[in-house]
Amino acid sequence: MGVLSSHGVSSPDVSLAQAFIVARGTSCAPELLPPLQEQLTRALEMARAAWPGVELAGTRFVGHLARLLPSQAPSEDVEKLHVPDVYLARAAADQLPSALTAFEASFLPEVNAAVARLKLPPTGLDEVRQLLRQRMLVGSQDAPARLAAYPGTGPLSGWVRAAALWLALDWQRQRGGQPQADDGDLSLLVAPGDDPELIYLKNTYRAEFAASFSEALGTLEPRQRNFLRLKFLDALSIDQLGALYGVHRSTAARWVVAAQESLLQETRRLLTERLRLTGSQLDSVLRLISSQLDVNLSRLLRSKAD
């Protein structure tokens, strides 16, 4: 359908294309808007055909598609995504009742399939199902519904199964009486090529490193801890984080970097209080923690998951 211009001449509707371009934070030559509009219209029609009755606004949907694409990817790469699944995930994350109903009917049974081999008791299966529903569909002030971060690069069913399995394993681990020492040691192990000073620091002050790092993590704001959890524990990319919070990837990147810097600065302060180290030794410790940040955080955040 066309739109009347100020001169009374009908011009093509390019609202989807414009919403897509704005969400990507780029520009587009006017003559390229109509073909982009056609591409996005096809994607929207395909998604709505797959989920009849789920009416997500077209501009909302294409803006979400735009944020899922890597920054340098061409718009044609939208067709590489599992478009109908992205549509339902976005609509369910937005709490559209029809989308919530469709998601629960189509994907929550994946929980049973994912955790069958773990032989959880009925109470465990129920708890995992509730946890999955809470994290996928509801979220919290500091952690938006995880469905908003579904990247669309694989089927949503597989993504849900993976999340259910992770939750089930975590449930099983917490109730199995397994020691948590491995989650708090920060992987401060001697590696080939370490200089003598680092070897000494690792073996002598392992407990102090772990305690300081853990305490520093606890001083972060809940929102900052969630950024780090999503990045290092859930392995979301910067583009996926931006899509989850509805912001440009550069903003998401700044948030993660700021959280990391706050964590390392507080760790340094606490270590300074606990240990009598020279400036060069303390710098070596911080370089060590920084270099292993992904492993350290993933273990520590898993042990402190809330």
Q: How many domains does the chain have?
A: 2
* pTM of the complete model: 0.59
- pLDDT per residue rounded down to tens, the chain (306 residues): 455 444 444 578 899 999 999 998 888 888 889 999 999 999 999 999 999 999 999 999 999 999 888 777 888 889 888 999 999 999 999 999 999 999 999 988 877 877 776 778 888 888 888 888 888 888 766 677 888 888 887 788 888 887 787 788 778 777 763 433 333 333 333 343 444 445 445 555 667 777 787 888 888 888 888 888 777 776 778 887 887 777 888 888 899 889 888 888 888 788 777 766 556 656 666 666 665 565 556 666 655 544
Check residue 289 and give its pLDDT. 61
The answer to whether residue 51 sits within a structural domain is: yes
Q: DSSP E strands: which ranges in the chain? A: 2-4, 10-12
Q: For residue 63, what are the contacts with CB-CB under 8 A and spacing of at least 6?
A: 19, 20, 22, 23
Of the three residues 173, 207, 242, the one that is the final residue of a domain is: 173
Distance of CA 68 to the CA centre of its chain: 12
Say if residue 162 is in the same domain as residue 249. no
Say if residue 241 is in the same domain as residue 298. yes
* Cβ neighbours around 57 below 10 Å, total: 14
Of the three residues 155, 173, 191, the one that is the final residue of a domain is: 173
Say if residue 55 is in the same domain as residue 189. no
The answer to whether residue 3 sits within a structural domain is: no
Say if residue 105 is in the same domain as residue 229. no
Say if residue 255 is in the same domain as residue 159. no
Say if residue 19 is in the same domain as residue 136. yes
Query: Is the CB of residue 1 less than 8 Å from the CB of residue 22?
Result: no
The answer to whether residue 4 sits within a structural domain is: no
Of the three residues 118, 147, 173, the one that is the final residue of a domain is: 173
Q: For residue 175, what are the contacts with CB-CB under 8 A and spacing of at least 6?
A: 124
Check residue 176 and give its pLDDT. 63
* Cβ neighbours around 221 below 10 Å, total: 11
How far is Cα 233 from Cα 183, in angstroms, rounded to an integer?
12
Check residue 190 and give its pLDDT. 36
Check residue 6 and give its pLDDT. 46
Say if residue 197 is in the same domain as residue 289. yes
How far is Cα 132 from Cα 120, in angstroms, rounded to an integer?
15
Say if residue 32 is in the same domain as residue 107. yes
Check residue 16 and give its pLDDT. 94
Say if residue 230 is in the same domain as residue 249. yes
C-alpha separations of 165 from 132, 149, 155, 195, 237 in Å: 10, 18, 16, 40, 21
Q: Is 2 helix (H, G, I), strand (E, B) or coil?
A: strand
Say if residue 259 is in the same domain as residue 134. no
The answer to whether residue 2 sits within a structural domain is: no
How far is Cα 159 from Cα 178, in angstroms, rounded to an integer?
27
Check residue 214 and give its pLDDT. 81
Please give the residue range of the domain that contains residue 134: 12-173
Query: Is the CB of residue 47 less than 8 Å from the CB of residue 90?
Result: no
Say if residue 270 is in the same domain as residue 220. yes
The answer to whether residue 215 sits within a structural domain is: yes
Say if residue 165 is in the same domain as residue 236. no
